[in-house]
Structure formats: C-alpha cells, structure tokens
Structure 1
Amino acid sequence: MVTPLEIFSGFSVDDIPAAKAFYGETLGLRISDGPMGNLDLELPAGGHVFIYPKEDHTPATFTILNLVVDDIDAAVDELNAKGVVTAIYDDPQLPTDEKGVLRGRSVDRGPDIAWFRDPAGNVLSVLQD
C-alpha cells in the first residue's frame, strides 16, 4: 500500500501573474510563489494546491475548485462586483437564475452553486451547502 507523506492537487494556467492576482486579490486566498515558477495556493483546512504554468494550457472542462461559503448570494454579489462573471452556463440541465446560481437546495437537488472561470478559463464554483 502507498503511504503518502502529503497529498496535494494541481492544475495549470497560461499566465502565472494573472493567476496570482486572481486567486490572491480577487478571491482573497492565500497564495505564494513556488520554487519552480509555480504558485502555492493554501487551502483553509491546511492543504495546498500546486498551480503551474503550461504554455499549451487547455482550460479544465470540469470544476477544479469548490469554495464553500456561508451565503451564496453575498459571495456571488462580491464576485460580480469584482468583475467575475458567475452566469456562465445556459443549459437546461443546469438551470441557473439571473445571478448564475443553481438553486439546488430548494428542489432537493444538492447545494446552491454558482460557477465562474479563472483568467486561464478553468472552472471554479462557490457553493452553499
């Protein structure tokens, strides 16, 4: 059996300075420069995510990070005020309101969730359980 000393995830971006500004300033997360031109994103529970530059980066087609919040509407309003677009899906399978929030709690279909993209096009979400 594998006995890891630490576990972390990672994803690529095409512009490290833009990613650093987005994750650090726009989202207000703890981020620092890594030793190889990468970024280290510190998660609230103590884990880390490795954000690395990739010249031929292709945005992830799935949600790479989910940020759990106390108030989905306040979080979406704050993101929108900072220029982050949360209404990114127009899909009957993901029926979102004008803010881009899928109101899953009211129909017993999971959490209330809103998706948005980082500057590299990767999908993230804010969700309220």
Structure 2
Amino acid sequence: MASATQFTFSQSQDFGSANLKIGFHRRDHGDGHPFDGPLGILAHAWPPTDGRFHYNADETWSADPTPGAFELETVALHEIGHLLGLGHSSVPDAIMYASIGQGVAKGLHGDDIQGIKALYNV
C-alpha cells in the first residue's frame, strides 16, 4: 500500500506506541471475533484508529506461495487494506477480494489503488 499512497510503514520496538499491532491467535482470543480453526477465517483487522490485525494461528502459513499454505504477505496486504478503511472488492484479482486460495500470492490491483486514492484523496 505504501507504494500506491503517501503512507509510510516502519517497525516499532515499543509495542504500546505502535499504530499497527499484528499477532497470531487461535479460536476465542478476547476481541469478540473468534477464529474458527483451520481453513476458515484466515485473519481479521479493524478500520482506522484501532490498528489490530490478527492472523489465525490454526492456518498453515508460508512466506512464499506454497501449495497447502496461505501466503503471509498477500493476507497482510489485504488486512492492511481494511486497517486503512477499504472494504471487500467484487474484482477477483483485487487484493481486497473477500477470499484467497492456498498457494496464491497477489499484489495490488487497479481496483485496490483506486479505492485507497478515493478514501485519502491522493
């Protein structure tokens, strides 16, 4: 998202002051949105001002597109879209499309870029 917007992202050593907090959680993890085990909900995040982003720890994750695993960066890009205020897209190739298969990697699509530009006037 940073390349398509004026946002910058950097790692913080102070968890308490971080604007974006990423974690891996299982089932009921205290946020009112429990995960449903493997091959269900992959992750969730909340729109601007909340900053929480949770991966489902019961899924199989990979740093690369691998058969039988979900690609971490693709799911992160989707959830960061939600953190920035984007909803789901009806365009299957868009990162903000509501579902993704195992072994699939995606990048930003024109639909995603148009959405973020419309939200932030960039």
Q: TM-score, normalised by structure 2?
A: 0.26
Q: Point out the structure with the larger helix share.
A: 2
Point out the structure with the larger strand share. Answer: 1
Q: Greater relative contact order (Cα 8 A, min sep 6): structure 1 or 2? A: 1
Q: TM-score, normalised by structure 1?
A: 0.25
Return the index of the structure with the highest Cα Rg.
1
